Chains A and B, each alone.
Chain A
């Protein structure tokens, strides 16, 4: 049985269709990627899986649980990193992990977990004094402290430098090796390629393609050496909406310039 089952979910906000008929299964022990540009509906989809949002229609099961009806049971087996979620500034990393540990009947040892995540010496550091990478690792620690069977991580490495990204990826591989099924949301091709067993490419609320990283590349480019990058761009289409920022800003700039040219030094603008 799949660990996560998503069947034809739909969600709209007023006129905005955020998710438009998404279906996929995540198998036990898999790292499953949800890849797509900003606004593609990734966060909405995983937050429906987490039970934070309710779909307009469709069905979701996580380990056989309904995220809305069985939310209590689900929260004890699901570890979550939210794209939009925060920690209080004036709590220390150690306090946060101990607090979150206290929510679960069974869980990891807070000190050991912090050690594993390289936050040993940050135990007494306030949240607002952690670097981006450290904060991200703390957030992963909080997702894992309840020893979840499934982890959903949204925009895990956004805002991290390349080095911190790589460290985080290694960590995720270790988490998977420990038997946790992972649903990973990202808009980075290299991250998806490196980590995921399978990837669902989201485009405008739908899944444009679902395959292994190699499979996705092969689909668009036959065999020869193309990158997932190119495959992704081919699948999600060109940026064809609107006139483009260039036109909008350039136009305004020119108007300004025309007016400015009423004076002498018009050359500056051309």
Chain B
């Protein structure tokens, strides 16, 4: 029921692709053990994947739901047996399709333009991808649940997005951040998603605590957003 939001796809599809194209190459040594993928790409690709998930989950989904609330579409649903969780899940399914499209786009682009190697730990990659998605989407639902207006949703979504991205290493390695901030950022969804995806792709060990943090954010944010959900 939510679709043809073509304008809303510009950022989740376009921005990660742009960042990938601009930063994907660069003179960096190959990752040892992989057939030719540069360390630069091994950082940038997971980063743009997380970026895609985050823009869909934390920016697009909440502003969409808030618009539905604004135009009384949710109000109409409130007098049917539909539950808040159904509305949130329906929205998440649409978001999932968008995020999937965006991820396919950057992975294909990385393969075509740069020397992309197959992920060293496909199973770990799936786990990291799934948990990053659920965590980002749950956060987005929380933003959607508490935002009174579409403007508020966009503002809260954008601020959360930039904070997560900055602390998570989206604007450059977390090593450049103050130690304490970097430590926190590693367990917020952006940083945890980036690290675990990167580890899975390059064959480094997955940090169980980071995966746990992603799962924790998912559970808490989803539960709270279903609680706080407002139809109008």
- Show the binding face of A for B, using Cβ within 8 Å: 50-52, 72, 75-76, 78, 80, 82, 84-88, 90-91, 95-96, 99-100, 103-104, 142, 146
Choose one: B2, B3, B68, B75; the contact of A84 (CB below 8 Å). Answer: B75
Known A52-B75, A84-B72: A90·B80 in contact at CB below 8 Å: no
Residue B78 lies at the interface, judged by CB distance under 8 Å to chain A: yes
**Inter-subunit contact B81/A86 (CB<8 Å):** no
List CB contacts (< 8 Å) of B65-87 with chain A. 68, 71-73, 75-76, 78-82, 86
Choose one: B3, B79, B82; the contact of A78 (CB below 8 Å). Answer: B79
A78 neighbours in B (Cβ, 8 Å): 79
**Inter-subunit contact B76/A86 (CB<8 Å):** yes
**Inter-subunit contact B80/A85 (CB<8 Å):** no
**Inter-subunit contact B81/A72 (CB<8 Å):** yes
5 contacts between A and B (CB under 8 A): A80-B79, A84-B72, A87-B76, A90-B3, A146-B81
Besides A82-B79, A91-B1, A99-B1, 13 other CB < 8 A contacts? A52-B78, A52-B79, A76-B81, A84-B72, A84-B75, A85-B73, A85-B76, A85-B79, A86-B76, A88-B1, A88-B2, A88-B68, A90-B4
B2 neighbours in A (Cβ, 8 Å): 88
B72 neighbours in A (Cβ, 8 Å): 82, 84-86
**Inter-subunit contact A82/B75 (CB<8 Å):** yes
Nearest A residue to B232 by beta-carbon distance? A52
Interface band, chain B: 10 to 19
B1 neighbours in A (Cβ, 8 Å): 88, 91, 95-96, 99
A51 neighbours in B (Cβ, 8 Å): 79
Cα distance A36–B70 when bound, in Å? 27
Q: Top 9 nearest A-B pairs by Cβ distance?
A: A85-B76, A80-B79, A90-B4, A103-B80, A75-B81, A86-B72, A103-B82, A103-B81, A86-B71
A72 neighbours in B (Cβ, 8 Å): 81
Instruction: Return B4 CB to nearest CB of chain A, in Å.
Output: 4
Nearest A residue to B6 by beta-carbon distance? A90
**Inter-subunit contact A85/B4 (CB<8 Å):** no
Choose one: B4, B73, B79; the contact of A50 (CB below 8 Å). Answer: B79
List CB contacts (< 8 Å) of B48-79 with chain A. 68, 71-73, 75-76, 78-79
Cα distance A82–B80 when bound, in Å? 12
A86 neighbours in B (Cβ, 8 Å): 71-73, 75-76
Interface centre among B1, B71, B79, B86 (most CB of A within 10 A): B79
Cα distance A96–B78 when bound, in Å? 15
**Inter-subunit contact A75/B75 (CB<8 Å):** no
Cα distance A182–B181 when bound, in Å? 61
